[in-house]
Every structure is written in C-alpha cells, then in structure tokens.
C-alpha cells in the first residue's frame, strides 16, 4: 500500500470512495509478496498491482463490487492451466487477496493508517480478514505509543482479542514484519479451524531504509541512483566540500560534508539492521576510522570499494585496530558481485545485486542453473503453515 499511498490520500482527502485489494497470503511461485496492493476508486481509476498482470482484471471487478455493496471479501487465486480464459496464476503459485471498501471518515483505524502510510511515519495497519462476520473489515492503526480504531463497536465483547492484537502488531512493527495473526476471541493464538477464530493481516510500515554512501566520486552517483530505485533514503558523505555537493548528486536525499567516521557517529540513533553502508573512498585515512566503527554496528550491510591489494592492506590495518575475525568477516570487499562490470553504472548494478542477495539470502547463481525456489525469503512450507486456522477464502482456479 505504501507504493500507492499518495493516491489513496488524495482520494481520501476529496471524500471519494474506493476499494483496496491487498495480497494477504502467498504460496508457491507467486508473483507478489504479502502487502502488495491495488486500489480502484468510485470512478473506475486503478493504481497499483497485486499480481503483475495475471489476475488484475478479476481483482479490479472485485474492487468495483466492494465499492458498490460495501462488503469486504477474501479471494484465493490459484493456478490456471492452458485455458487462456481461466482466472488464475500461470506461475503455479497462489495468492490470497483481501478486498476492502473504504469510505473516508467511516473508519478511524483505516483513516489514520492511510494517513500515517502516506506521511511515511511508522504504523502497523491491522485488518480482520476472516472470522465472525461482524469483525471482518475492522481496522486498527497501531503506532509505538497509540492505537486508533476498534475491532468492534462494543469493545467489551472483544477486549481480550483487541489487546492481544495490539501487543502482537506492535512487536511486528518494531521488527518491520508484515504477516497474519490467527487468534481466538480470547486473544490466544490458534492453529486450527474453530468457531470464534479470527484472522488479522498486519501490515508494518516503517520509514525507508537508509543507504549511506561514503566518498563523493563518480561511481557514487550511479550507486545513489540505484539506491533510490531500490527504495533507500540515500545520503552521500565526504569530507571534501568541493566534491560533496548537491549539484553533483541531485538524486541523493542529502549530501553531507563531514569526515565519514564522525558523521557515522552522529547517526547512531537513525541506523538499524536495514541500513547499508557503501564505502567508496578507497582512501585509508577515511576508510579505516569509518570501517572500524561500521563493522561493530548492527547494520545490514557494509561494503568497501578497492582492489585486492587495497582490501588486503585494509584488513591488516583493521586487524591491528583490534577488530575480531567475526567483525572482519562482515566486510564485503571488494564491494559488489562479479558481473564483469566496467562502467560506473555496471558497478552500481553489481553493488545493488550484492546488497539484494545479502538481504534476501540469494545464492548469486543464474536461476537457470538450479531448480530451487526463486524467492529465497519465502518458505513454501511456512506459508502453507500460516494458513492453519484460517477459514478458506473464495477460490479462483482453473
């Protein structure tokens, strides 16, 4: 929903009714991950995507129907065979899609959740996607210090459930996780079907992850561009004011003139496990103090540019500075995957590829060289296990 949040806010501000279709479950080789969203307004305008094209037409019609009758619906789209007129996924996977009508001002949880998402502030948007009819479609907007919305007009009837949902949603927000919760009306986790089972979908929205690019060189400009393309908030830092200018890096979110290690020290409260550091200066007087700190921080990725000789000298200096072998093993140097890169743009692609592979657990081999899962961060077994305790959605399959 984050990708279409600006359009949703515009529709919301104008008082226009719309419907949001969200992927709430996947299995097999599904094209989009949970959280992918498509929205349709009362005039028929559509934004976003839930499948990359496979079932967009059917989902569009579901959104139109939801706007007309005001009823949410959970649909499953499974495999479609060679029948060109079948509604389903040709990739062999399955998608569960929750379609919810939105009438601005009618649901405080949805209103607040959309506002937070569009503003880029952290929020967990919780929606009941299956369970007792009166609860389906209910929404909560959960932040670190507050909750807006309710699961029922009479909170006393679901008090334990709502408290449990808020606690778990807040934990998922802290971890930046999106997924499903299956609970009983008493708030206890459930693993099997049963009367009173409630399934919630929790979408965690956190500020964009950060990419810190140290070294205002020509290669850095290409890394900045691809970092923005991947959704990072990108900062360029260099101690040399003649090179670190907004004019040279117009696509950076910010350009900072400071010694790299000193700037990193000032950012300790703004970095986390999603933060990536690209050290491109390959100058020991900048690199060593910076890497000595960076490799001891809980960031997601640290890569440094340089030749094999530069790398060996860099590691020796860091070892002399007291870094352990485990800390040194975190350093990706020379930075990037071996793609045979020559140009700045090609080098940026190799850096981006390594960051993605490190984050997602990719093997860095051609997909044609193996027959294993394409998406390394999605476990088919776990996904199927997540379905336990869920009422079956309506199904589209050939």
Answer for the pair 335, 305: CB distance below 8 angstroms, yes or no: yes
Residue 390: the pLDDT is 42
Q: Which of 200, 241, 47, 215 is nearest to 109 (CA)?
A: 200
Q: Which of 307, 279, 275, 274 is nearest to 291 (CA)?
A: 279
- Alpha carbon 303 to its chain centroid, in Å, reads 22
Neighbouring-strand partners of residue 214: 237, 279
Residue 155: the pLDDT is 59
Core vs surface per residue 37-65: b (16+ CB within 10 A) or e: bbbbbeeeebbbbbbeebbbebbbebbbe
Query: What's the number of CA atoms in the CB half-sphere (13 Å) around residue 222?
Result: 15
Residues 6+ apart with CB under 8 A from 388: 182, 191, 192
Tell me the C-alpha to C-alpha distance, in Å, between residue 138 and each of 2, 135, 289, 388: 20, 6, 51, 21
What are φ and ψ of residue 393, in 5° steps?
-75, 170
Per-residue pLDDT of the chain (398 residues; tens, 9 = 90+): 778 888 998 999 999 999 999 999 888 666 678 899 999 999 999 999 987 667 888 999 999 999 999 999 999 887 554 443 344 455 557 889 999 999 999 999 999 999 998 888 899 999 999 988 888 999 999 998 899 998 876 656 678 899 999 999 998 888 788 999 999 888 888 865 556 789 999 999 888 889 999 999 989 999 999 999 998 999 999 999 999 999 999 999 999 999 999 999 999 988 888 899 999 988 889 999 999 999 999 999 999 999 999 999 999 999 999 999 999 999 999 999 999 998 999 999 999 999 999 988 888 888 788 776 666 554 433 333 343 334 445 545 43
Place of tokens 């399955």: 94
Place of tokens 């079956």: 392
Residue 391: the pLDDT is 43
What are φ and ψ of residue 277, in 5° steps?
-120, 125
Residue 46: the pLDDT is 95
Work out the angle at residue 235's Cα, subtended by the Cα atoms of residues 230 and 239, and round it to the nearest 5 degrees.
145
Core vs surface per residue 81-107: b (16+ CB within 10 A) or e: eeeeeebbbbbebbbbbbbbbbbbeeb
Residue 56: the pLDDT is 86
Residue 398: the pLDDT is 36
Residue 22: the pLDDT is 94
- Alpha carbon 103 to its chain centroid, in Å, reads 26
3-class state of residue 344 by DSSP? helix
Tell me the C-alpha to C-alpha distance, in Å, between residue 77 and each of 58, 202, 243: 10, 20, 52
Residue 120: the pLDDT is 81
Query: What's the number of CA atoms in the CB half-sphere (13 Å) around residue 115?
Result: 14
Residue 2: the pLDDT is 78
Pure H helices in the chain: 5-13, 56-69, 108-119, 159-175, 218-229, 260-266, 284-294, 308-320, 325-328, 344-360, 380-386
Tokens of 93: 């996977």
What are φ and ψ of residue 343, in 5° steps?
-80, 170
Answer for the pair 34, 26: CB distance below 8 angstroms, yes or no: yes
Strands 73-77 and 394-396, bridge-based pairing: parallel
Residue 388: the pLDDT is 36
């Amino acid at each position: 929903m984050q990708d279409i949040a600006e359009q949703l806010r515009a529709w919301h501000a104008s008082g226009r009714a719309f419907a949001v279709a969200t992927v709430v479950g996947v299995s097999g080789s599904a094209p989009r991950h949970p959280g992918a969203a498509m929205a349709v307004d009362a005039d028929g305008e559509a934004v976003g995507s839930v499948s990359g094209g496979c079932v967009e037409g059917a989902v569009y019609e579901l959104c139109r129907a939801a706007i007309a009758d005001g009823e949410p619906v959970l649909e499953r789209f499974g495999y479609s065979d060679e029948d060109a007129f079948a509604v389903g996924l040709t990739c062999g996977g399955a998608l569960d899609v929750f379609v919810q009508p939105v009438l601005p001002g009618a649901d405080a949880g949805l209103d607040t959740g959309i506002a937070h998402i569009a503003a880029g502030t952290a929020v967990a948007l919780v929606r009941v996607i299956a369970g007792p009819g009166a609860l389906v479609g209910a929404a909560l907007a959960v932040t670190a210090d507050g909750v807006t919305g309710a699961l029922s007009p009479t909170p006393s009837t679901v008090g334990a459930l709502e408290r449990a949902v808020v606690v778990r949603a807040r934990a998922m927000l802290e971890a930046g996780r999106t997924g499903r919760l299956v609970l009983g009306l008493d708030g206890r986790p459930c693993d099997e079907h049963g009367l009173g089972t409630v399934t919630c979908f929790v979408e965690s929205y956190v500020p964009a992850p950060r990419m810190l690019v140290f070294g205002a060189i020509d290669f850095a400009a290409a890394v900045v561009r691809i970092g923005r393309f991947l959704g990072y908030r990108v900062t360029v830092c260099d101690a040399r004011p003649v090179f670190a200018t907004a004019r040279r890096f117009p696509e950076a979110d910010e350009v900072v003139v400071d010694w790299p290690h000193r700037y990193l020290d000032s950012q300790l409260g703004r970095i986390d496990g999603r933060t990536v550091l690209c050290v491109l200066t390959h100058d020991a007087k900048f690199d060593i103090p910076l890497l000595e700190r960076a490799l001891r921080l809980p960031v997601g990725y640290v890569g440094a540019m340089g030749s094999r000789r530069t790398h060996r000298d860099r590691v020796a200096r860091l070892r002399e500075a007291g870094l352990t072998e485990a800390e040194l093993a975190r350093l990706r140097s020379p930075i990037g995957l071996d793609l045979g890169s020559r140009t700045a743009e090609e080098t940026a692609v190799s850096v981006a590829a390594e960051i993605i592979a490190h984050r997602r657990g990719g093997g860095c081999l051609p997909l044609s060289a193996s027959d294993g899962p394409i998406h390394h961060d999605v476990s088919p077994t776990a996904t199927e296990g997540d379905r336990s305790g869920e009422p079956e959605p309506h199904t589209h399959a050939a």
